Amino acid sequence: MKVGDSAPLFSLADSSGKEVKLKDYLGKKSIVLYFYPKDYTRGCTTEACSFRDRYELFLKAGAEVIGISGDSSESHANFAVTYKLPFVLLSDVKNKVRKLYNVGSTFGIIPGRVTYILDKRGIIQHIFSSQINPKKHIDEALRILDEMKE
């Protein structure tokens, strides 16, 4: 995947088990699609809470935040309640969407932490990957959304 590509379409279960389709967002909002390793781990909790704390800025920028990991819908539901996460978390238990987006792993064992910024048409505008700096994903996403307005 690279900037300028059309984002692959997918559907996954959300934290309530309801099927969510990427195509349902297209034409309505920009999308911040972030892949993270695992619910409740230190870096992933920091990242999710940073998205939560700045969620209003994403909404004002005309974007929706969607998090994806290999955790179950039940784990996502508990994670979202525990940390009061206002955005969608999707369960990619079989890592099919992670593979579609070519999100690899670190050291071959830790699922990658990659954020994709999609415009309303579903075109990838930016890709940011950093396993060790989860808060940077939020800064990068907001910066790119701001540039897309210009």
**Which tokens belong to 26?**
């297209």
44 is catalytic: yes
Contact between residue 40 and residue 63 where contact means Cβ atoms under 8 Å apart: no
pLDDT in tens, the chain (150 residues): 899 999 999 999 999 999 999 999 999 999 999 999 999 999 999 999 999 999 999 999 999 999 999 999 999 999 999 999 999 999 999 999 999 999 988 767 778 899 999 999 999 999 998 888 888 999 999 999 999 986
Residues near 55 by Cβ (< 8 Å), separated by ≥ 6? Answer: 65, 86, 87
| 3-class secondary-structure state, position 10 | coil
Contact between residue 140 and residue 146 where contact means Cβ atoms under 8 Å apart: no
Residue type, position 122, single letter: G
Superfamily designation of domain 11-149: Glutaredoxin (3.40.30.10)
Residues near 141 by Cβ (< 8 Å), separated by ≥ 6? Answer: 32, 34, 58, 63, 115, 117, 126, 128
- Catalytic-role residue among 32, 44, 80, 97: 44
Domains of the chain: which residue ranges? Answer: 11-149
Return the CA Rg of the chain: 14
